[in-house]
Amino acid sequence: MTSRGRDRGADLHAGKVIAVDIDDTLNDFTQTLRRTPFPYHPRYALPEATFHEYLAGIRDGAPEPSDLLSTAYLALRFKIHEECYRIAIARTDGVEFMKWLRDDDWRIVICTRRDLRRVGDSTKEWLAAHRIPFDYMFSALNKIVFCRAWHISLLVDDEANSIEFGPRYGVRVFYPASAHGPAAPAGARGFGVFDEVKRWIRESR
């Protein structure tokens, strides 16, 4: 939770509340992951050939093949993702949308799959650098479960799980159509620009 959220005395069970994802929603995380060179360096503590093999898998979203919780592949993936979090480009219309939410007195919950115990500070720095306002920031592997638990009925997110199951559990999901196309279960809506989300929210009042 941010200190700003505590100072405002925000109650997530009352008023206008919306949850918003970061990666591939407010930024271009996947494109950053794919386009950034990431040259080999001994600091990665891997043979160069292994580094390039792992990097290719990370770019493709390949999971760790073993059942171990700590492996060289997972360690490298975290380092690469951490760098992408830092340099990913914010969507200009997404930033303006978040500012509109603040001006319209919404309580803004940043809801992300990032491990905020490890990248919480750098994530706050990125949000501050792009002047993206928010009240709370939580890590959630299943955002629909999170939204249900906190009585949040609106979610902006690109994840397929959210798009598929949100409408089924009473969460209205808005997602970047560029990632999944315009077709989705009834209730989820794909947008090209954030102004569409703003309009849909206004129309639902």
- CA-based angle 127:107:84, to the nearest 5? 20
23 and 115 part of one domain: yes
> How many structural domains compose the chain?
2
Q: Mean pLDDT, to the nearest integer, of 136-160?
A: 97
Query: Do 12 and 98 have their domain in common?
Result: yes
Cβ neighbours for 76, distance < 8 A, ≥ 6 positions apart: 44, 46, 51, 54, 55, 58
Torsion of CA 91, 96, 102, 108, to 10 degrees: -20
The residue-averaged pLDDT of 120-139 equals 98
148 and 116 belong to one structural domain: yes
DSSP classification of residue 71: -
Query: 70 pLDDT band (50/70/90 cuts)?
Result: confident
Strand (E) or helix (H) holding 108: strand 107-112
- 125 vs 68, more confident: 125
Q: What pLDDT does 186 receive?
A: 66
Q: What CATH number does the domain containing 158 carry?
A: 3.40.50.1000
Which pLDDT score is estimated for 66?
78
Residues spanned by the domain of 78: 30-87
Find the mean pLDDT for residues 197-201: 96
> Do residue 10 and residue 78 come from a single domain?
no
C-alpha to C-alpha distance for 9 and 140, rounded to whole angstroms? 22
- Pair (45, 98) in one structural domain: no
Spatial CB neighbours of 32, under 8 Å, sequence gap ≥ 6: 84, 87, 88, 89
Q: What is the pLDDT of residue 141?
A: 96
pLDDT attached to residue 182: 56
Whether residue 7 is found in the same domain as residue 58: no
Instruction: Check residue 136 and give its pLDDT.
Output: 97
pLDDT at position 15 over 80: no
| pLDDT value at 97 more than 90 | yes
Q: Are residue 95 and residue 190 in the same domain, yes or no?
A: yes
Distances from the Cα of 123 to the Cα of 39, 119, 147, 166, angstroms: 24, 6, 21, 25
Q: What is the mean pLDDT of the chain?
A: 90
Q: What is the pLDDT averaged over residues 85-112?
A: 98
